[in-house]
Structure 1
Amino acid sequence: MDPFFSAPCPSVRASGSDDARLGSKIATSVQHIEKALATWPLSDSGIAFNGGKDSIVLLALVQYVLSHRRTETSSGGRADDPDARCAPEGNFIVDSEFSWSSLALSPARRGSSDSVRTIFFLDQNNFPEVLEFMWDVAMKNKLDVVIIRKHIKTGLRCLNSRPREEYGSCLVRPLKVVFMGTRRSDPGGTNLSTFSRTDEGWPDIIRVNPLLDWDYHDIWNFTMRAELPYCSLYSKGYTSIGSVETTRPNKHLWQEKMQRYLPAWCLSSGALERSGRTAKPAQEAAPFL
Structure 2
Amino acid sequence: MTARDAAADAAGTLLVSARELRGAVSQALRKRLPERNDAEVLSTAEKLVADVEYQVCQGASVDAFADALALHHAMETCEDASLAGLLTESLRILTDAYRLFGLDGVFTSFNGGKDAVVIMQLSRAVFAKACVQAGRIERARMIFFELQDEFEEVEDFVRDSHKTCDLELRRYSTGFVAGLTSCIEEEEGRLLAFVLGTRRGDPNCGKQGTFEPSSDWMPPFMRVNPVLDWEYGDIWRFIRLFQIPYVNLYDKGYTSLGKKSDTQPNPALKKPGTADEYLPADMLSDWSLERAGRIKKAPKPIIEPEQCDAT
Is residue 2:231 matched to residue 1:215?
yes
Q: What is the Cα deviation at residue 227 of structure 1? A: 0.3
- The list of structure 1 runs, each at least 4 consecutive aligned residues, that deviate by more than 6 angstroms after superposition, is 281-285
Is residue 2:92 matched to residue 1:31?
yes
Let me know the Cα RMSD of the aligned residues.
2.4
Greater percentage in helix: 2
8 A Cα contact 2:254 2:266, kept in partner:
yes
Report the TM-score, using the length of structure 2 for normalisation. 0.67
Q: Secondary structure at the match of 1:20?
A: coil
CA distance in 2, matches of 1:261, 1:190: 32
Q: Secondary structure at the match of 2:83?
A: helix
Is residue 2:246 matched to residue 1:261?
no
Partner amino acid, structure 2, of 1:217: G
Of 249, 261, 264, 1:248 maps to 264
Cα–Cα, structure 1 residues 244 and 175, in superposed 2: closer, same or farther, change >3 Å? farther
Alignment of 1:118-137 (within 5 A): 118-137=142-161
Kindly name which structure, 1 or 2, has the bigger radius of gyration based on alpha carbons.
2
CA distance in 2, matches of 1:49, 1:37: 17
Q: What is the Cα deviation at residue 174 of structure 1? A: 5.7
Cα–Cα, structure 1 residues 280 and 116, in superposed 2: closer, same or farther, change >3 Å? farther
Question: Relative contact order (C-alpha < 8 Å, sep 6+): which is higher?
Answer: 1
Q: What is the Cα deviation at residue 136 of structure 1? A: 0.6
2:60 corresponds in structure 1 to none
CA distance in 2, matches of 1:218, 1:162: 35
1:275 corresponds in structure 2 to 292
2:80 corresponds in structure 1 to 19
Partner amino acid, structure 1, of 2:210: T
Partner amino acid, structure 1, of 2:94: I
Alignment of 1:106-145 (within 5 A): 112=138, 115-145=139-169
8 A Cα contact 2:98 2:105, kept in partner:
no
Of 54, 70, 78, 2:115 maps to 54
Alignment of 1:73-88 (within 5 A): 73-74=134-135
8 A Cα contact 2:204 2:302, kept in partner:
no
8 A Cα contact 1:180 1:209, kept in partner:
yes
Cα–Cα, structure 1 residues 131 and 196, in superposed 2: closer, same or farther, change >3 Å? same
Deviation string 1:132-187 (CA, Å, 9 cap, x unpaired) is 111010011111110010111012122323484xxxxxxxx766110111101211
Q: Secondary structure at the match of 1:133?
A: helix
2:25 corresponds in structure 1 to none
8 A Cα contact 1:185 1:215, kept in partner:
no
CA distance in 2, matches of 1:280, 1:160: 32
Partner amino acid, structure 2, of 1:204: P
Partner amino acid, structure 2, of 1:179: V
Q: What is the Cα deviation at residue 271 of structure 1? A: 0.5
Q: What is the Cα deviation at residue 34 of structure 1? A: 0.5
Q: What is the Cα deviation at residue 234 of structure 1? A: 0.3
Q: What is the Cα deviation at residue 253 of structure 1? A: 0.2
CA distance in 1, matches of 2:169, 2:187: 20
CA distance in 2, matches of 1:156, 1:239: 27
CA distance in 2, matches of 1:163, 1:195: 21
8 A Cα contact 2:82 2:234, kept in partner:
no
CA distance in 2, matches of 1:285, 1:125: 21
1:40 corresponds in structure 2 to 101
Is residue 2:87 matched to residue 1:68?
no
Is residue 2:255 matched to residue 1:239?
yes
Q: Percent identity?
A: 33
Q: Secondary structure at the match of 2:80?
A: helix
Deviation string 1:209-260 (CA, Å, 9 cap, x unpaired) is 0000000000000000000001111000000000111111100000122441
Structure 2, unmatched stretches of 5+, are: 1-78
Cα–Cα, structure 1 residues 191 and 230, in superposed 2: closer, same or farther, change >3 Å? same
Of 204, 210, 225, 2:241 maps to 225
Partner amino acid, structure 1, of 2:289: L
CA distance in 1, matches of 2:108, 2:265: 27
1:5 corresponds in structure 2 to none
